[in-house]
Amino acid sequence: MSSELKLSGRYFSFYVNMQSALDTKSKIMLLADKENLTINKELDMNTISPNSNIRLRNFTAAFPGKYIQGDNTLAELPEYIQRLGKKGLVIASSTAISKIIPQYKLNELPDLLIVERFRGECCEREIERMSDIIKTEGIDVVVGMGGGKAIDTAKIAADRIGLPVIIVPTIASTDAPCSGCAVIYSESGIFESVYYQKLNPQIVLVDLNVITNSPVRFLVAGMGDALATWFEARSCQRTQSQNECGGLSTMTGLNLAKLCYDTLLRFGTTARIANENKIIIPALHHIVEANILLSGIGFESSGLAAAHSIHNGLTALSETHSFYHGEKVAFGVLTGLNLTDAAPDEIDEVYSFCEEIGLPTTLADIGLENISRERLLEAAVKTCVPTDVIHHEAGVITPEKVLSAMIAADAMGRKRKFRDSIARKADKESN
Ligand SMILES: [Zn+2]
């Protein structure tokens, strides 16, 4: 076989069918050749993204070494540090230092661990500072405790020196804790690059007592991030796009992504109530697991698509900066459903979920109440940069199509809100 093949959609279908009929030896030969396989941009089958220069690879999945979730699990942190080494550095957010560390008396174990306050930005300077502390203090286990940036700093510092890392998320607002990637920013907070670690974190330790005492908006934003997982995984599987650990989606990734979505629909509302009342009930357990573990494995092992690209595009508009990652991702999901011709019943289901738990369904909900089409187009253009994951969707994705889908998602969200307000008013009058 040649090292590079350009295939039409029809032939690609044939290739896939042929592969499944081959014996094991032939499959290995084909897999080896896949590395150099590129797909013709003229494809018109709806399962391949024509803008992508797709390189097919192995089926790949990534997981944290151990995931522990429970009530007061932080009391076990010293034991886990001792399992992996002799002395830990806890890189902790300000909230963790003022509330969580004293609560669990983690500041009273100077021989086992030292605590260092995270200065707020996951930038080269902060990573270097932590690396220096690791070297001078003889640290052999790193712990990241806090929100996304404290966690990412711990992951990168540990990976560069080759030490194990324990991740302790104090909020359930994203699916980053379990993953093997982290984002580096400039000192002023501008995105610079994604850093891929050699391995995922050795231990992820989630304390429900800490999570339920954090603001509800974090848990809801985490559900917005987790909401994208199934739809993006499904798109990547349909188009055979690359996942976030450099391979093709596994059955494991895809099915955990589906379980993530089903869990959100079943337990999202009850979990929100639990968080509002600062209590721990099974529904909260299920949603925290969905937000952190299922979504984490789901996105990394199955891939990202429209929702995250639309999130990235929306960051071009400064009005959205005060909104959380998962909130913008949720609007990205609604836009993506309109973009990809999802079934009306499914669209209705997702809107109802977002309305029920308090995720954005309109542009006004993410700070873009009076946005002009021209400025919204800026976000759509950024969404469609050739390197972004929106090209994992089927068909040719253009800024104009994304703009139309954003306007459609917003109009639908506004119409539903209007309908609900009329219904509430009628209810009130009849009572
Ligand atoms: Zn995300």
pLDDT recorded at residue 53: 44
Report if residue 135 sits inside a domain. Answer: yes
Could you tell me if residue 73 is inside a domain? yes
Greatest Cα pair distance in the chain: 75
221 CA distance to ligand 1 centroid (A)? 10
Q: Which of 187-196, 230-239, 394-403, 411-420 has the lowest mean pLDDT?
A: 187-196
Positions marked catalytic: 225, 308, 311, 325
How far away, in angstroms, is 213 Cα from ligand 1 center?
A: 23
Please identify, among 212, 231, 252, the residue that sits at the C-terminal boundary of a domain. Answer: 212
CATH number assigned to the domain comprising residue 155: 3.40.50.1970
- Centre of ligand 1 to C-alpha 208, Å, is 21
Asked if residue 323 belongs to a domain, the reply is yes
Q: What is the pLDDT of residue 56?
A: 58
Is residue 72 domain-shared with residue 28, that is, in the same domain? no
Confidence band of 265 (pLDDT split at 50, 70, 90) = very high
Are both 196 and 257 inside the same structural domain? no
255 and 351, same domain (yes or no) = yes
Number of structural domains, the chain? 3
Q: Is the pLDDT of residue 123 over 90?
A: yes
Asked whether the predicted pLDDT for residue 42 surpasses 80, the reply is: no
Measured in whole angstroms, the distance separating CA 386 from the mean position of its chain's CA atoms is 20
Q: Is residue 59 part of a domain?
A: no
Residues 232 and 255 in one domain: yes
Among candidate residues 90, 148, 157, the one with its CA nearest the CA of residue 121: 148
Q: What are phi and psi of 188, to 5 degrees?
A: -95, 10
Distance 409 CA to ligand 1 centre (A): 19
Whether residue 287 is contained in a domain is answered as: no
Residues 98 and 195 in one domain: yes
How close is the Cα of 304 to the center of ligand 1, in Å?
Answer: 9
50 C-alpha vs ligand 1 centroid, how far in Å?
24
Q: Are residues 250 and 192 in the same domain?
A: no
d(CA 47, CA 240): 8
Distance 169 CA to ligand 1 centre (A): 15
How many helices (DSSP H) and strands (DSSP E) are in the chain? Answer: 17, 8
Task: Specify which residues 145 forms β-bridges with.
Answer: 92, 168
Is the pLDDT at 198 greater than 60, yes or no? Answer: yes
Separation between Cα atoms, residue 60 and residue 200, nearest integer Å: 13
Domain check: are 261 and 379 in the same one?
A: yes
**Residue 236 shares a structural domain with residue 377:** yes
Residue 404 lies in a domain: yes
Asked, for residue 110, whether it belongs to a domain, the answer is yes
Rounded Cα distance between 431 and 421, Å, is 15
Cα–Cα distance for residue pair 176/381, rounded to 1 Å: 26
Please check whether residues 245 and 182 belong to one and the same domain: no
How many angstroms separate the CA atoms of 69 and 175, rounded?
14
- Terminal alpha carbon distance of the chain: 75
Give the tens place of pLDDT for each residue, 214-263: 999 999 999 999 999 999 999 999 999 999 988 999 999 999 999 999 99
Report CA(225)–ligand 1 centroid distance (Å): 5
* 201 and 163 in a common domain: yes
Give 176 Cα–ligand 1 centroid separation in angstroms: 7
Kindly state whether residue 92 falls inside one of the protein's structural domains.
yes
Among 387, 384, 428, residue whose Cα is nearest residue 406? 384
The confidence band for 266, taking pLDDT boundaries of 50, 70 and 90, is very high
- Average model confidence (pLDDT) across the chain: 88
* Residue 38 main-chain phi, psi, to 5 deg: -115, 150
- The residue among 388, 60, 66 whose CA lies nearest residue 253 is 60
Is residue 310 scored above 60 in pLDDT? yes
* Domain boundary residue, one of 212, 236, 254: 212
322 Cα–ligand 1 center, Å: 16
Regarding whether 189 and 76 lie in a shared domain, the answer is yes
Residue 16 lies in domain: 1-45
